[in-house]
């Protein structure tokens, strides 16, 4: 408003000099941490809040009481944790990293309903550059910018108040004590509810972000420190070839295909309505329709399926510390070769010959840093020709590794259409996702069948056999779940049920005395990854105390030469 002065001249109103709007506010380190913690808990924890408050009515005061108490308690505990690390110098980088991690993790947890536990994080960290590139999808960019980059930048805006060292310590201790007191008090207020939530839905702790990421990182770091440097503890030190080897005329070539993310339900060999196994259906294979995986991720399943412990005696530390069945077979005299088209053998083949083929430069099979699984057969003629004696080759497929199912097969296998052509599954319909996934199985069918054809061709030189088994299954949107890696106790069947298929050449069956029809009759039983260790030793007649006949799928179908047994029995009786 203009005023007229005594001199009759119009003058602007006197305005008090105010701070410019962009002036940086001054905050205590503690205030900045508290603001950030509140933001993380509210912006990055949709799945946690939905799970923690599931089944409660929003009209009830008790629901709000529970929610506010949890929010207060977790804010206080997050604050207390960060208060141990945050100084004027470290607080900004620390909070920025947490904000970015939370934004990234929460997008995945929201979109694919995954749980961030140690195994899942190891999966993410163990993926190679190309798989990591596939983890980034353009659809996540707005979410990352709004809830990650922008708030991470805002952390650098305020000025931080200075305090003398003594005063800073005193203030920090005060805050810390207050936070612990408030956190504990809030939890005690709703303790009965909270305890029942933790008892009945333990897995919700894997949804609390970024605590889940930090805990998993710390767990992996602590657990991983001693592992790689320590040599593996021996298994089956007494391993040697059994009696059936004395009269053998040809060496053995055994191929074990470790499939990736193939679920039993979508194999037409197991009754799936779509023909996803047209080629294997024409091969003389034995199919096991009821096979269960040891884990729901490569990181868990791979070490477990090759170990003597299995799911029954599952102990991650023990499994990683000990040798695998491949070491036992190598000790008995097999040349073992691991050929990999994925993220490595996860310690299973440590110290044994291994070839990483996923970045091979085979023009017809490789593009954008990925190769089709046929690359695993490249050069096998040479391997077979140059090997003296018995050969066990493990082929680790890329299989149906998601979410980019459409990149796992060449165009001629695009038979179920329209197929999802996007790494961001939320951009596709449910049917398109299943189509792309089924096309990838169709290619696996082709690949496994091609391996069998190769082994048929090698029969002159070798007694040949093949076992194909996937490492875990996959969720394709059932119940809102995608991909895999759910904690085992709550994982859906589709993530745990895997295809298991065998093929034994006539020469192999004859020389190892295996009754194929008996195997086929027994194949309908419940079997699992736990059978692999003992079945490999059993079928190849490797004798060791580590072998457990009751878990050997071949043992019931190896008819003993009866007259000899009777004679031996008589001799013993006398």
**What residues make contact with Zn ion under the rule CB under 5 A?**
260, 298, 471
Least distance in Å: CB of 326 to Zn ion? 18
Question: Shortest approach of Zn ion to residue 272 CB, angstroms?
Answer: 20
Q: Say which DSSP state 134 is in.
A: H
Q: How far is the CB of 434 from Zn ion (least distance, A)?
A: 19
Cβ 112 to Zn ion shortest distance, Å: 15
Per DSSP, what are the bridge partners of residue 483?
475
Residue pair 441/262 in contact (Cβ under 8 Å)? The answer is yes
Contact 325, 392 (CB under 8 A): no
Distance, in Å, from the CA atom of 336 to the CA atom of 162, rounded to the nearest integer, reads 63
Residue 371: beta bridge partners? 366
Residue nearest to Zn ion (CB): 298
Q: Do 123 and 485 touch, CB atoms closer than 8 A?
A: yes
Q: How far is the CB of 474 from Zn ion (least distance, A)?
A: 9
Residue 260 or 323: the one with the smaller Cβ distance to Zn ion is 260
HEC string of 302-324?
HHHHCCCCCCCCCCHHHHHHECC
Select 209 or 341, whichever has its Cβ closest to Zn ion. 341
Q: In the complex, what is the shortest distance from the CB of residue 82 to Zn ion, in angstroms, rounded to a whole number?
A: 35
Minimum Å gap between C-beta 471 and Zn ion is 4
Whole-number minimum distance, CB 484 to Zn ion, in Å?
Answer: 7
DSSP-derived letter for residue 256 is E
What are the tokens at 180? 């612990």
Q: How far is the CB of 256 from Zn ion (least distance, A)?
A: 15
Give the shortest CB-35-to-Zn ion separation in angstroms: 40
Cβ nearer to Zn ion, comparing 298 with 390: 298
Q: Minimal CA–CA distance to 497: which of 301, 256, 346?
A: 301
> Nearest CA to 499 among 399, 371, 417, 405?
399
Identity of the residue, 287 or 298, whose beta carbon is nearer to Zn ion in the bound complex: 298
Q: Which is nearer to Zn ion, 72 or 307 (CB)?
A: 307
Is the Cβ of residue 484 or residue 534 nearer to Zn ion in the bound state? 484
Q: Report, in Å, the least distance between residue 168 CB and Zn ion.
A: 49
35 vs 23: CA distance, rounded Å: 19
CA distances from 128 to 62, 80, 117, 339 (A): 47, 35, 19, 16
For Zn ion, the closer CB: 341 or 505: 341
Q: Are 327 and 233 in contact (CB under 8 A)?
A: no
Q: How far apart are CA 564 and CA 574, in angstroms?
A: 16
Q: Which is nearer to Zn ion, 260 or 552 (CB)?
A: 260
Q: Which is nearer to Zn ion, 193 or 471 (CB)?
A: 471
Cis peptide before 71 (omega within 30 of 0): no
Locate 563 and state its tokens: 């007259």
Could you give the CA distance from residue 96 to residue 546 in angstroms, rounded to a whole number? 51
138 CB burial (10 A radius; 0-12, 13-18, 19+): exposed
* Pairing relationship of beta strands 366-367 and 286-292 according to DSSP bridges: unpaired
Compute CA 34 distance to the chain's CA centroid, rounded to the nearest angstrom: 34
User: Mind giving me the DSSP string for 140-202?
Assistant: GHHHHIIIIIHHHHHTTSSEE----HHHHHHHHHHHHHHHHHHHHHHHHHTHHHHHHHHHH-G
Q: How far is the CB of 313 from Zn ion (least distance, A)?
A: 22
Which structure tokens are listed for 193?
A: 């509810």
Instruction: Name the CA radius of gyration of the chain, rounded.
Output: 30
Give the residue with the Cβ less far from Zn ion, 463 or 471. 471
The residue among 331 and 472 lying less far from Zn ion, judged by its C-beta, is 472
Q: How far is the CB of 130 from Zn ion (least distance, A)?
A: 15
Q: Which residues pair with 465 in a beta bridge?
A: 254, 504
């Amino acid at each position: 408003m203009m005023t007229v002065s005594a001199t009759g001249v119009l003058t602007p109103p006197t305005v008090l000099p105010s701070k410019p709007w962009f002036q940086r506010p001054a905050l205590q380190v503690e205030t900045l941490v508290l603001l950030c913690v509140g933001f993380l808990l509210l912006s990055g924890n949709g799945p946690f809040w939905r799970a923690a408050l599931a089944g409660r009515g929003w009209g009830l005061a008790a629901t709000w009481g529970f929610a506010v108490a949890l929010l207060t308690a977790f804010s206080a505990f997050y604050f207390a944790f960060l208060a141990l690390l945050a100084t004027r110098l470290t607080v900004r980088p620390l909070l920025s990293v947490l904000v970015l991690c939370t934004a990234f993790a929460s997008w995945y947890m929201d979109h694919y309903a995954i749980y961030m536990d140690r195994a899942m994080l190891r999966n993410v960290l163990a993926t190679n550059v190309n798989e990591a590139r596939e983890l980034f999808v353009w659809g996540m960019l707005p979410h990352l910018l709004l809830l990650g980059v922008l708030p991470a930048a805002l952390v650098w805006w305020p000025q931080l108040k200075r305090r003398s060292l003594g005063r800073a310590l005193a203030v920090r201790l005060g805050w810390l004590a207050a936070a612990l007191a408030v956190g504990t008090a809030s939890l005690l207020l709703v303790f009965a509810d909270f305890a029942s939530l933790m008892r009945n839905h333990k897995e919700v702790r894997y949804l609390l972000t970024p605590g889940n990421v930090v805990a998993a990182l710390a767990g992996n770091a602590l657990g991983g420190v001693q592992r790689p440097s320590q040599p593996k503890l021996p298994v089956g030190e007494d391993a040697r070839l059994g009696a059936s080897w004395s009269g053998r005329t040809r060496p053995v070539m055994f191929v074990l295909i470790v499939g990736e993310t193939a679920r039993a339900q979508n194999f037409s060999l197991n009754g799936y309505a779509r023909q996803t196994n047209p080629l294997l259906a024409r091969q003389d294979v034995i199919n096991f329709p009821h096979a269960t995986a040891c884990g729901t991720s490569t990181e868990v399943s791979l070490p477990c399926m090759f170990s003597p412990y299995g799911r029954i005696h599952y102990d991650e530390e023990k499994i990683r510390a000990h040798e695998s069945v491949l070491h036992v077979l190598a000790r008995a005299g097999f040349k073992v070769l691991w050929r990999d088209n994925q993220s490595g053998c996860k310690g299973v083949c440590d110290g044994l010959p291994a070839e990483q083929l996923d970045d091979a430069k085979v023009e017809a099979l490789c593009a954008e840093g990925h190769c089709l699984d046929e690359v695993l057969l490249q050069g096998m003629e040479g391997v077979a020709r140059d090997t003296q004696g018995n050969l066990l080759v493990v082929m680790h497929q890329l299989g149906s590794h998601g979410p980019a199912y459409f990149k796992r097969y060449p165009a001629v296998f695009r038979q179920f259409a329209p197929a999802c052509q996007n790494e961001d599954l939320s951009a596709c319909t449910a049917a398109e996702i299943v189509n792309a996934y089924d096309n990838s199985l169709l290619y696996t069918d082709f690949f496994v069948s091609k391996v069998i054809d190769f082994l048929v061709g090698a029969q002159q030189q070798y007694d040949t056999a093949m076992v194909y088994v996937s490492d875990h299954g996959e969720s394709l949107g059932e119940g809102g779940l995608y991909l895999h890696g759910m904690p085992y106790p709550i994982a859906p069947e589709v993530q745990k049920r895997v295809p298991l298929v065998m093929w034994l050449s006539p020469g192999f069956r004859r020389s190892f005395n295996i009754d194929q029809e008996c195997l086929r009759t027994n194949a309908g039983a419940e079997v699992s990854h736990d059978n692999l260790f003992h079945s490999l030793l059993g079928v190849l007649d490797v004798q060791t105390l580590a072998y457990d006949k009751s878990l050997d799928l071949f043992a019931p179908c190896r008819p003993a030469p009866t007259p000899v047994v009777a004679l031996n029995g008589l001799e013993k009786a006398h």
